[in-house]
Structure 1
Amino acid sequence: MIFAILRHPKRLLTLVLACFLIIVGCQPTKFQTRAAQEVSQLVLVSLSEPATFNYAINDSPYSVFPFIYKGLLDEDGITSKLKPGLAESWSIFPDKKRIIFTLRKGLKWSDGEPLTADDVIFSYRDIYLNKKIPTTYRDLLRIGDTGTFPSVRKLDEQRVEFTLPAPFAPFLRYTERLAILPAHALRSAVFSNDANGNPQFLSMWGTNTDPQKIICNGSYTIESYTPAQRVTFRRNPYYWRKDAQGNSQPYIERIIWQIISSTDNQLLRFRSGELDSLNVTPSNFGLLKREEKRGKYSIYNGGTSSGFSFIGFNLNQARNAQGKPFVDPIKSQWFNNLAFRQAVAYAIDRNRIKTNIYRGLGEVQHSPIAVQSPYYLSPQAGLKVYNYNPNKAREMLLSAGFQYNSQKELLDRNGKRVEFEMLVKSEDQSRIDAAIQIQQDLSQIGIKANLQVVSFNVVLRRLLSRRDWDCYVGAFGATGADVEPHLLKLFWSSRGSFHQFNQGPQPGAPPIQGWVVSDWEKAIDSLFNAGVQELDEKKRQAIYGRFQQIVAEQLPVFFLVNPISLQAIRDRVVNIKYSGLSSVFWNIDEWQITDK
């Protein structure tokens, strides 16, 4: 899922969210003509509205934050190399445990107030490391077997020093992902409690907040928000970035982020000439490619995307605070049976998914780590794979004590029909189509999977809050994992906030009872802890290779097809640098609109 989740808002917008550039408003043709005469602008499309304007507590990929916030460092979307961001430089001590960041001079917030080391201290110490604030980003900062956090101190107005309890290879990359937030606007809310004893910060900056009160440090500010319709962004006049000639960036004055849940409508509007850009899916690729010249646009090929798509079962054997099991105990026995999970893997025809749903524009996936990664373990190097073999699936089920009735329906050893709910988000038609084919494949081995298509916000609540789901066809958007596999920890660590297939207790959430962590989950925890402390690349490759082997053997999730990233963008938009390993908007500061 995001799944990818999850882990970094700058990437999270692209991995599970399909956002596209368009030039429309409430009345597209009139709005486009009038606006083009006034200011340069682009309009983006989101499949769903934002869940919050509070960065720290956001857990949805439908996020405005890539446009309004920055971290200490930036990342080149093509090379994945780190470069200066809010910090103009950084230095690492020989012990690899102390890092000093030096901020740029003259940084300002969108309200004109100075951005200083105090804001960095506040963001890390008082928000991300504050136990009273249930933020998913805290997981990124846990270091070592004990999950100890780094400490941070102010050296002067421009310099801050982080001290780590042990060498931690991903730390620099996380400072790019964690936004710096305004202390002058949020400090009082962090240290004031509501009637329930929780920080008032938790109710700050919801989507009902006046957008003018959202203080930013990124390329844009939020100008207005109309629920279920659009978010309008305006260029941040205090943004620090300038081009080589000294011109302020970004060049585009306004971005309008339309909220349109129908991908069919997006395609129609793009073809009619109203839209500047569209995410190209396998189903519309042939049509759009034929019209490319006439439509005056180009289709950018970013290669296979990072992250992973999968089908997974709820392995959680715990109960909620009222003592009710999250999963029906009968179903839980099936899902926690390794032979059952492996049989399901053999029963799914992924090549058919690739051909029929992705039109050949993808590759069968075997690992959670991108094939472009130096840490990827290939089948040729020993990774266990599950090629389509329904006969083997049936044999495994029979050997595990399952049986078939006269109608060829699968029953467990107690005669209970094997039937469960399969959850999928409504905003992605290709994922729905994949789920339908999986449903058909499972029916061939006697399993009845009842498809439930709901909005992704509902999916997130089911997965991460209620935990009352059976099976999920989803994805986890782990862009950047090709460079740093530890970014996957949110999903794979037993204590990770997105460890959805067996999520444990979470800070600030109601308690759960009887949570069980398997030995192989503990082994994965140990490998991730070892991987971040090992600076030798060959040794790190061995560590993450073993992690991939465990996942392939235990199958908490089964990987499906990794699609090719394609984006159609009108030729009037220039300076685009597109890669499937990063957000299409990663260099939006450099985008310009021409008269073509």
Structure 2
Amino acid sequence: MITDHPISRRALLTTSGIAASALVVGCSDRREPLPGLDSTKKVLESPILTKKITAGDLPKLADRLPASPMVVQPIKKPGSFGGTLHRAQTEATDSGVIASFASSGLVEWSRDSSKAIPSLAETYQRSDDNTIFTFTLRQGLKWSDGKPFTADDVIFAIKDWLGNATLVPALPVWFADVDQQLPKVSKTDENTVRIEFREPFALFEKYLCHPSINIQIIKPKHYLEKYHPAYTDKAKVTAAAKKAGFDSWDQYFADRDNPWTNPDRPVMGAYQVAKAAGAQSGTASLERNPFYYKTDPDGRQLPYIDKIQVQVLDQAALDLRAANGDLEFQGNFLGYNSTQVYLRNAKAKGFTVQRWQAVGTLLSLCPNLSHNDRVWRSLFMTKDFRLALSHAINRKEINDTLLGGLGIIRQPMSTDGSPYGIAGGGRTAVDYDVEKAGQLLDGIGAKKRGSVRYYRGKPLEFTVIYTDNDQGIARADAFNLVKKDWAAVGVKMNVRPVDDTLYAQLRASNDFDFDGTTMIEDDWDLEPVWYVPTSSGSHSCPGYGLWYATGGKDGVTPPAEIKKLMDTWDELRTAQTDQIRIAAGKKITQQHNDNVYVIGLMKLPFQPVVVSNKIIGVRTDKPQLSFYYGREGITKPEQISLA
């Protein structure tokens, strides 16, 4: 499926074919000295880089920076160079630290994450109808190995990676044009890239801000072309892949293109992996990129911190390290249930516990609306059945038992304050009313025989599949409380934890009754499958999603109300203006609010974030710890420092 900074501005090169009134985005260079620095004695780069220059291993700073660096205003005050930031995670293969601390893109989120601003691009232009996007790169950008970064690198990523059916069999939603076609991409000079879609793409800038997406069209052509048969003889590429232990050239290309596991791959972000975490080593290390393109307002090259160390631990050990003050800045992977331990230890261990907004923690039950069984499909698509199940849940008991009454009870959908939010949304059928639940079930013909209800001769017995996760709400405990509540109204529920592989297989094959998962609420337009079945990755109707993705050639034909969701999504995605896009998003939210396609339980009241007292520059305004904003990356980690 399926991402922040004041910057400098140059004159924009005019591109033919774009309306004169097209939006041009750029920001003024900020060069005022920062308070707290003696401008006559300021150090413009990390001492470890100065040593490399002296040894003849690195060019001088002026030769490493672009002509007009991106200028980042520190959140609190200018930082000091040096030090190692310690972090931890529960899976060796998780590359989230790259998105949070070392992503780079043509554009990125503004500081408040409300819009796109230029990044590797010094300026960019968007046509009035959201079809043509032109990016003018900063002159003199360099990869971490010192090689030039140009428009050819972006075109290589689009044409030779996204456009290669072996490497990318199906275009991702964030770059697909009409009928799963690649948009037109061209360059007018070495620093200007033009991307043209055949229909308006209202979300393109937002996708490009997402730090797990923007990095994907920033690929080092000079490094990767030797692994690609379009540039190197296919027999040679295949032989190299076999020698490296891969079955095919595309597998080897993907391995070489992974900045988390391949330290040799050049990058544009603030840090490059120096040692990957693997079976032999439970610790990864990242080192500063000496050619990074951002500075503070005094011209000091960022990042301030030299190194990041990431240790792979189980959840209990990770939470213990955080409570002991060993992790200087950590929110992602941190267990909510250990918050009280963090708070008790904070003063003695020299850190604070911030409460960022919890994102993607709304524990929910997704009935499979496209069920392979026609009887269950008909039942699950019956609104009163879903309302009955929702009313039958004693959410207060779940909240009091698992979260001490602090959880937020609501149905999954956009929150009130988001662009797609509606006033009072998320409250449909959340009140506990066993009598009403029974009446609704009686009304649809699900009559009780003894302790179990039957529908069209079949007992109402279902299985909830889910994957265990110890970071947030205890899923097994929550689902077992729901099991008790549903049994009281004659619905039997089996609780079945599965591993990640089986979980994905069951969903993709449309072979499940209920999916127990946490739902996102805002920014779902970046991953529409949460609320609109656009692919088989849908949690609530993968069969309908496959129908949509294949143009009706495969999957399960959806009923009219689901097609309405799909049509509204198409309106949103192809909107020519933000007003049209937002209106479509609100219609999708309203349809979910009216119909309760997914049954929400509750979400965490906040996400704990531990911040060492030695750290300078972490924001304190309780931002969202969101995957779409790069989680900790929302605080601009290139400008944080160790005091």
Fold shared by both chains (TM-score > 0.5): yes
Asked whether the 8 Å contact 1:189–1:199 carries over to 2, the reply is no
Distance in 2 of aligned mates of 1:158 and 1:169: 24
Query: What residue is the counterpart of 1:183 in the other structure?
Result: 221
CA distance in structure 1 between the aligned counterparts of 2:129 and 2:537, rounded to whole angstroms: 32
1:246 aligns with 2:299: yes
Map 1:465-476; keep pairs closer than 5 Å.
466-476=509-519
Q: CA deviation at 1:117?
A: 0.3
Change (3 A) 1:332 1:554: same
Matches within 5 A, 1:18-33: none
d(CA) in 1 for partners of 2:278 and 2:502?
Answer: 17
Aligned equivalent of 2:525, options 486, 493, 514: 486
282-291 vs 78-87, which deviates more?
Answer: 282-291
Specify which of 87, 104, 113 is matched with residue 44 of structure 1: 87
Closer/same/farther in 2, CA of residues 68 and 274 from structure 1, 3 Å limit: closer
For residues 30-429 of structure 1, the aligned pairs below 5 Å read 40-50=83-93, 64-134=98-168, 138-142=172-176, 149-177=182-210, 178-179=214-215, 180-187=218-225, 188-189=227-228, 191=230, 200-206=249-255, 211-227=262-278, 229-262=282-315, 264-279=316-331, 282-305=336-359, 308-317=362-371, 327=372, 331-332=376-377, 334-379=379-424, 384-406=428-450, 408-429=451-472
2:50 is matched with none
Show CA shifts across 1:485-523 (max 9, x none): 5324243443336323332449999x9955222322221
Verify: 1:584 aligned to 2:632, yes or no.
yes
> What's the TM-score, normalizing by structure 2?
0.73
- Per-residue displacement from partner, 1:426-468 (whole Å, max 9, x unpaired)? 344514143333333323323332222344455344434x543
Distance 2:559 2:167 in 1: 28
Instruction: Measure how far apart 1:360 and its partner are.
Output: 4.3
2:488: which partner in 1? 444
Q: Distance in 2 between matches of 1:506 and 1:226?
A: 39
Contact 1:110/1:238 (CA < 8 Å) preserved in 2? yes
Deviation at 1:575, TM superposition (A): 0.4
- 1:298–1:569 Cα contact (<8 Å) kept: yes
Aligned-partner SS, 2:463: strand
By how many angstroms is 1:474 displaced? Answer: 1.2
1:372–1:7: structure 2 CA closer, same or farther, 3 Å change rule?
farther
Report deviation, 1:565: 2.9
1:499 aligned to 525, 529, 538, which one? 538
Corresponding position of 1:29 = none
Deviates more, 1:363-372 or 1:522-531: 363-372
Q: Distance in 1 between matches of 2:170 and 2:612?
A: 37
CA distance in 1, matches of 2:229, 2:414: 37
Unaligned runs of 5+ in 2: 4-80
| Structure 1 vs Structure 2 CA RMSD | 3.6
Q: CA offset at residue 90 of structure 1?
A: 0.7
SS state at 2:173 partner: helix
TM-score, normalized by length of structure 1? Answer: 0.78
TM-aligned CA deviation for residue 333 of structure 1? 5.0
Q: Which residue of 2 aligns with 1:569?
A: 611
Compared CA separation, residues 261 and 157, structure 1 to 2 (3 A): same
Task: Tell me if the contact between 2:366 and 2:539 (Cα under 8 Å) persists in the aligned partners.
Answer: no
Q: Give the aligned length.
A: 531
| Rounded Cα–Cα distance in structure 2 between residues aligned with 1:210 and 1:415 | 51
Once the two structures are superposed, residues 194-232 of structure 1 have per-residue CA deviations (whole angstroms, 9 ceiling, x without a partner) of 799x98334434489962333322121122223252332
Structure 1 residues 143 and 512: alpha-carbon distance in aligned structure 2, compared to 1, 3 A threshold: closer
Aligned-residue offset at 1:82: 2.1
Structure 1 gap segments, 5+ residues each = 1-5, 9-37, 54-61, 318-326
Helix, strand or coil at the partner of 1:425: coil
